[in-house]
Amino acid sequence: MSTADLEKIKDFLPLLIPLVIIELGLLAYTLWHINTHENYKHGTRALWNVVAIVGMQFIGPILYFIIGKEDE
């Protein structure tokens, strides 16, 4: 990586850091929710754990809350 590339990355850090924090927080909450509840609309606990972890880039946790979370 050149110095110019590092400068470009530094320019995006104020945007990237909050996104990473939000992403990890959403993932943590999703995994907690999956592992503390027994019923799901579709799928099993193991399936939703895999979907949440593999699809960690916002998509996995959001899919769980839209498709898999049982209404309480």
* Residue 63 domain flag: yes
* Residue 8 domain flag: no
Long-range CB contacts for residues 69-72, cutoff 8 Å, separation at least 24: 69/33, 69/37, 69/40, 69/41, 70/37, 70/39, 70/40, 70/41, 71/41
pLDDT in tens, 55-64: 767 677 777 7
* Residue 66 domain flag: yes
* Residue 71 domain flag: yes
Full residue range of the structural domain in which residue 38 is found: 23-72
Q: How many domains, in total, are found in the chain?
A: 1
pLDDT in tens, 10-47: 888 888 889 889 888 888 888 898 888 888 878 888 88
